Amino acid sequence: MSLEKRMNDLIMKYKVRPDALLDQSFMIDERMIKRIVSKACIKPGETVLEIGAGIGFLSIELVRTGGKVTSVELDERLRPILKEELKGTGIKIVCGNALEYIKGKGFDKIVSNTPYSICEPLVQRLTKTKFKEAFLSVPKRFA
């Protein structure tokens, strides 16, 4: 089943849509997801923070690398979807503000399909966060 079809099924089942106020978009491009994961070069056992889990499609590919993944999502409406999609994967799901969550924590890798609205605050926060590498996919208008 394509990710677009799966997304549409989840949207209908849970009656949620991307929130424009949160600058949300759900990543359904399988090639882009695989490219992000490939560029992140995650090794088995590395701690990985995903910022903006959305409906979990990137999360699933991240955990397939053998990394220990924590996925943070601000939108509480997506918690039931994440619980369903990520069940049995070992991914730690955190519903909350990633900018607050990362304070005082360290990770090997940080990966994000970053909404435009948090690009600048996220980059600023990362300058004060312990991590080895970060791979952020950002909108062209930010880059």
Amino acid at 54: G
pLDDT digits (tens, 9 = 90+) for 7-52: 999 999 999 988 877 778 888 999 999 999 999 999 999 999 999 9
- The helix/strand/coil state of 6 is helix
94 pLDDT exceeds 70? yes
pLDDT of residue 143: 63
pLDDT of residue 93: 98
Closest listed residue to residue 54, CA positions, set 90, 13, 10: 10
Task: Name the residue with higher pLDDT: 115 or 110.
Answer: 110
Give the span between the Cα atoms of 79 and 1, in whole angstroms. Answer: 22
What average pLDDT does this structure show over 131-141? 85
Closest listed residue to residue 17, CA positions, set 54, 72, 47: 54
Q: Which domains does the chain have, with CATH numbers?
A: 3-137 (3.40.50.150)
